[in-house]
């Protein structure tokens, strides 16, 4: 049977900083519609689903012709929500699940291929993700922008909300890798991941991907040629709308 590659977009209505964020209008469209439409442009994907526990989001997604699946409201993370949908649509252990965040309305669809290729090349690799290089301290010191450091082979060593690495010298040559919260998992690993207990580092940073590293699994980190702008607060919508007007996003 041919391997399937499916994108599942977790979308939660009850965001602490921005309630109703997936339905916020950006250039006349709900944010979740921007994400679904961009993901649907990827020729690597076989299908795109939205995973949510809110009927309002389901209604919105179905209204623009997307596929939404209502999940349990008891999930503690977006990964758990994704796994429920992955099981519901009958994915096999060798299939690949792409986790696209519902607050990335400028998601670049071409990077799906970059995410999937390492898993095809290495059958033992459980997971991959993306980074985009940034320079200077401004973005690095923003705790909403997660940073990642990798080894020489491109595998993640650590993710942090703090600026890493710490530069003792060469303050004028600060280079950081901003983690883009887009992941590819092998379905078989996703079932393992959701059963792993939360570790000390994940609890400290509130970064779920640290659970993978704490339990000894590898994450391949691939450079994305473009940033994927996130909407964390309402003010970010203006920035996204400006980018839609002035760039080739």
60: helix, strand or coil? helix
- List Cα–Cα distances, 237 to 168, 170, 175, in angstroms: 36, 35, 27
Domain boundaries, the chain: 5-246
Report the predicted TM-score, pTM, of the whole model to 2 decimal places: 0.92
Give CB contacts under 8 A, 24+ apart, made by 71-78: 77/208, 78/10, 78/12, 78/51, 78/208
pLDDT per position as a tens digit, 75-101: 888 899 999 999 999 999 999 999 999
Fold of 5-246: Spore Coat Polysaccharide Biosynthesis Protein SpsA; Chain A (3.90.550)
Given this model, what pLDDT does residue 135 score? Answer: 75
pLDDT per position as a tens digit, 23-47: 999 999 999 999 999 999 999 999 9
Distance, first Cα to last Cα, the chain: 35
Task: Return per-residue pLDDT of the chain as tens, 249 residues.
Answer: 689 999 999 998 877 678 888 999 999 999 999 999 999 999 999 999 999 999 999 999 999 999 999 998 878 888 999 999 999 999 999 999 999 998 899 988 999 999 999 999 999 999 999 999 987 788 889 898 899 999 999 999 999 999 999 988 877 778 999 999 999 999 999 999 999 999 999 999 999 999 999 999 999 999 998 888 888 888 888 888 888 887 655
Distance of CA 98 to the CA centre of its chain: 8
Which residues lie closer than 8 Å to 189 by C-beta, 6 or more apart? Answer: 126, 127, 217
- Residue-level length of the chain: 249
Distance of CA 166 to the CA centre of its chain: 25
Given this model, what pLDDT does residue 71 score? Answer: 92
C-alpha closest to that of 107 among 7, 6, 34: 34
How far apart CA 56 and CA 62 sit, in angstroms, is: 10
Residue 25 buriedness (CB in 10 A; 0-12 / 13-18 / 19+)? exposed
Cα torsion 115, 117, 119, 125: sign = negative
């Amino acid at each position: 049977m041919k391997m399937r590659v499916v994108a599942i977009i977790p979308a939660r209505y009850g965001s602490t900083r921005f309630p109703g964020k997936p339905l916020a209008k950006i250039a006349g469209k709900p944010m979740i519609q921007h994400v679904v439409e961009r993901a649907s442009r990827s020729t690597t994907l076989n299908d795109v689903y939205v995973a949510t526990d809110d009927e309002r989001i389901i209604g919105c997604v179905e209204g623009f012709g997307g596929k939404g699946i209502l999940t349990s409201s008891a999930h503690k993370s977006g990964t758990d929500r994704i796994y429920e949908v992955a099981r519901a649509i009958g994915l096999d252990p060798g299939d690949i699940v792409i986790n696209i965040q519902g607050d990335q309305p400028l998601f670049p669809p071409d990077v799906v291929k970059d995410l999937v290729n390492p898993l095809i090349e290495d059958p033992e690799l459980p997971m991959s993700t993306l980074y985009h290089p940034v320079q200077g301290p401004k973005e690095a010191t923003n705790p909403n922008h997660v940073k990642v450091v990798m080894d020489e082979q491109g595998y993640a060593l650590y993710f942090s909300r703090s600026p890493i690495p710490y530069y003792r010298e060469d303050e004028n040559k600060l280079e950081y890798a901003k983690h883009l919260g887009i992941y590819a998992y092998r379905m078989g690993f996703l079932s393992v991941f959701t059963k792993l207990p939360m570790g000390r580092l994940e609890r400290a940073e509130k970064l779920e991907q640290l659970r993978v590293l704490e339990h000894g699994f590898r994450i391949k980190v691939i450079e994305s040629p473009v940033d994927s702008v996130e909407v964390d607060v309402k003010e970010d919508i203006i920035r996204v709308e400006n980018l839609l007007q002035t760039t080739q996003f």
